[in-house]
């Protein structure tokens, strides 16, 4: 029987640096990294391509149920997500897909299938899993949980840089407004809202470098990991 994996849960709002920190931490620990936001984004992308409205609960649920997810790391260190065999890593990063992902993730039918897929990815595998509800819903028994936070201005600046690095043109005010709208929706939804688990380590990353964040996380993991 597969031994239970060691799960590190990383939750927090958009633009807080979850992905870079989770990826870096996973690399240092030799764990797998799973970005669950990418899974909601993939459902949003396929819904948009298939002409399914973000409010069409029945069709979205059927869509989510039929998908399989694979995470791969290329030799150059880049992370790829394959949805039912198709590499959607770049297409899901468009800002409008982020907004749509936040809308489709409201539906419990969609969440149920993705949570199931996320738990399956953790079976017998040590991993760092990032999202909004990893410590509260997906793996409430995870031995280490982090909740990252940062000032809205700092978060918008980070996301803006990320978008510009990808060649997407936008401005900070627009990014900040979209982020606040997404946070409001993600935090106020009825099912699995964004909030820290009672036993999460809350890390404010506003004034920390990425290296400092990863170091703090690594120390916390080391203190809770059996020798």
Binding site for ligand DC (CB under 6 A): 14, 36-37, 40-41, 98, 101-102, 105, 131-133, 182, 186
Least spacing, CB of residue 184 vs ligand DC, in Å = 11
Separation of alpha carbons 20 and 23, rounded Å: 5
Q: Please, which residue, 6 or 40, has the CB nearer to ligand DC?
A: 40
Residues 6+ apart with CB under 8 A from 65: 113
Least spacing, CB of residue 227 vs ligand DC, in Å = 31
Question: Is beta strand 127-131 parallel, antiparallel or unpaired with respect to 32-35?
Answer: parallel
Q: Please, which residue, 41 or 221, has the CB nearer to ligand DC?
A: 41
Count the neighbouring beta carbons within 10 Å of the beta carbon of residue 15: 25
Q: Which of 127, 23, 125 is nearest to 80 (CA)?
A: 23
Q: Please, which residue, 5 or 135, has the CB nearer to ligand DC?
A: 135
Residue pair 99/40 in contact (Cβ under 8 Å)? The answer is no
Least spacing, CB of residue 222 vs ligand DC, in Å = 25
E strand or H helix at 62 = helix 57-65
Q: Please, which residue, 89 or 105, has the CB nearer to ligand DC?
A: 105
Q: Please, which residue, 5 or 107, has the CB nearer to ligand DC?
A: 107
Question: For residue 78, what are its two tokens?
Answer: 């880049």
Least spacing, CB of residue 47 vs ligand DC, in Å = 13
Least spacing, CB of residue 100 vs ligand DC, in Å = 9
């Amino acid at each position: 029987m597969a031994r239970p994996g060691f799960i590190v849960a990383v939750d927090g709002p958009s633009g807080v640096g979850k992905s870079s920190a989770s990826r870096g931490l996973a690399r240092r620990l030799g764990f797998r990294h799973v970005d669950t936001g990418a899974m909601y984004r993939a459902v949003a992308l396929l819904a948009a391509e298939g002409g399914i409205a973000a409010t069409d609960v029945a069709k979205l649920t059927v869509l989510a149920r039929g998908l399989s997810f694979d995470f791969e790391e290329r030799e150059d260190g880049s992370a790829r997500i394959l949805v039912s065999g198709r590499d959607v890593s770049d297409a899901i990063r468009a800002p409008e897909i982020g907004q749509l992902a936040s809308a489709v993730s409201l539906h419990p039918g969609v969440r149920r299938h993705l949570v199931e897929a996320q738990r399956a990815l953790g079976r017998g595998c040590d991993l760092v899993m990032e999202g909004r509800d990893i410590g509260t819903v997906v793996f409430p028994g995870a031995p280490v949980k982090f909740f990252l936070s940062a000032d809205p201005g700092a978060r918008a600046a980070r996301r803006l840089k990320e978008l510009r690095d990808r060649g997407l043109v936008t401005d900070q005010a627009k990014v900040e407004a979209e982020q606040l709208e997404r946070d409001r929706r993600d935090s106020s939804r009825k099912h699995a809202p964004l909030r820290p688990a009672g036993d999460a380590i809350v890390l404010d990353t506003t004034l920390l470098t990425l290296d400092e964040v990863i170091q703090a996380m690594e120390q916390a993991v080391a203190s809770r990991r059996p020798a």
